[in-house]
Amino acid sequence: MSLVPGAVERLAAEFGRLPGIGPKTAQRLSFHCLRAPRENIARLSAALIEMRDLVRPCTRCFFIAEGELCAVCSNPRRDPNLLCVVEDALDVLAIERSGEFTGLYHVLEGAISPIDGVGPEQLRIAELVERVRANDVREVIIATDPDVEGEATAFYLGERLAPLEITVTRLAHGLPAGADLEYADELTVARAFSGRRAL
């Protein structure tokens, strides 16, 4: 019944599983692949497999790495006494773009979410506590998302880290610089105000 051959539909279905790709874009991508030179397609599929085989979590911070340690952990100029805790690897990239942070990261690989059966044990929290205890960490900055799960996780981390007698701070989630106030949601604005600090 379908106008397009099964192979095209199967590829479109795979594209459609990717985040942010709707049915129309998935179809456009499949048709693009259909018309592209064979060697480009071979390169694309080899790159996918290669990435999947070579990249794994950093053994220390769980950011992505090609060897044992990620690029941040293996950089001797980073301050090992300062840890920034984030939910996932993409958050590391966002913070790195700012160039503001000179310490190391710790990627939790998620946030506490009882609905999904994710508790502290499913996250890299034991590893975090161990890391803080074993190394001479001076300050932990908690940069989980400002949503319900991220806030509850931050609160829990605060409790877990309290006995270690180090400085624990929560990243102030204010407005993105240059953000149009009109476009920021009410809670972000409200909390940016309550989280404000003196200049």
Partner 1 sequence: MTEAACRVDRLRLFAFRNYAAETIELGPGLNVIAGRNAQGKTNLLEAVATAALTRSPRAATAADVISWGQAAAHIEAAIHRPAAPVTIDLRLHRSDGSERVGRSISLDGRPRPARSVLGLCPVVLFWPEDLLVVKGAPEARRRLCDVVLAQLEPRTAAEMVRFRRVLEQRNALLRRVRAGEASAAPLAGFTEELVRAGGWVRAARARLVAALQPLAAEGLDVLSDGSERLGLAYAVDGESGETAATDPEAASEALAQTLRRRAGDELARGATLAGPHRDDVVITLDGRPARAAASQGQQRSIVLAWKLAEVRHVAAATGTTPVLLLDDVLSELDGERRRRLLDELGAGRGTQALLTTSAAGGLDLERHGEVRHMSVEAGRVSVTGETPAALAGAAGA
Q: Which residues bind partner 1 (CB under 8 A)?
A: 16, 23, 112-115, 117, 119-120, 147-149, 151-156, 159, 182-183, 185-187, 190
Are 63 and 92 in contact by the 8 Å Cβ rule? The answer is yes
Work out how close the CB of 109 gets to partner 1 at its nearest, in angstroms, rounded to a whole number: 16
Q: Compute φ and ψ for 2, nearest 5 degrees.
A: -70, 145
The residue among 68 and 130 lying less far from partner 1, judged by its C-beta, is 130
* Residue with smaller CB distance to partner 1, 132 or 144: 144
Name residue 12's amino acid.
A
Quote the least distance from Cβ 131 to partner 1, whole Å.
19
Burial of 33 by CB count in 10 Å (0-12 exposed, 13-18 middle, 19+ buried)?
A: middle
Query: Which SS3 state, helix, strand or coil, does residue 76 take?
Result: coil
Sign of CA dihedral 116, 117, 119, 125: negative
Beta-bridge mates of residue 169: 141
Nearer to partner 1 (CB atom), residue 58 or residue 112: 112
Task: Give 13 or 46: the residue with its C-beta nearer to partner 1.
Answer: 13
Supply the minimum distance, in Å, between the C-beta of residue 115 and partner 1: 5
Residues in the chain: 199
Nearer to partner 1, 76 or 183 (CB): 183
Q: What is the closest distance, in whole angstroms, from the C-beta atom of residue 124 to partner 1 in the complex?
A: 15
CB of 184 to partner 1, least distance (A): 10
* Cα distance between the two ends of the chain: 67
